[in-house]
Structure 1
Amino acid sequence: MSLLLQLHDAVTSVQDAATGIIAAPNPGNVAPPGSDKILTILGWVKWLVTAVAVGGAMFIGAKMAIAHRRGDDTNTSALGWWLAGCVLLGVGPQLVDALT
Structure 2
Amino acid sequence: MTTFLAAGPPANVTGPINTVMGMVAWVATAAGVMGLLIVGAKMALSIRQGEGQEHMVQLGTVLGACVIAATAGPIVNFIL
Q: In the alignment, residue 71 of structure 1 is paired with which amino acid? A: G
1:36-94 CA-to-partner distances (Å, cap 9, x unmatched) read 23322221121111111111111010000001011112111111111111111111233
Q: Does 1:83 align with 2:52?
A: no
Aligned to 1:59: 38
User: Percent identity at matched positions?
Assistant: 30
Alignment of 1:43 with 2:28, yes or no, is no
- Measure the CA separation in 1 of the matches of 2:41 and 2:27: 21
Alignment length (residue pairs): 74
TM-score normalised according to structure 1 size = 0.60
Paired amino acid for 1:82:
V
Structure 1: runs of 5 or more not aligned: 1-26
CA RMSD of aligned residues (A): 2.2
Q: Larger relative CO (CA 8 A, sep 6+): 1 or 2?
A: 2
Partner Cα separation in structure 1 for residue 13 and residue 76 of structure 2: 21
Matching residue of 1:95: 75
* Unaligned residue ranges in structure 2 (runs of 5+): 1-5
* 3-state SS, counterpart of residue 18 of structure 2: helix
User: CA 1:95/1:39 → structure 2, altered by over 3 Å: closer, same or farther?
Assistant: closer
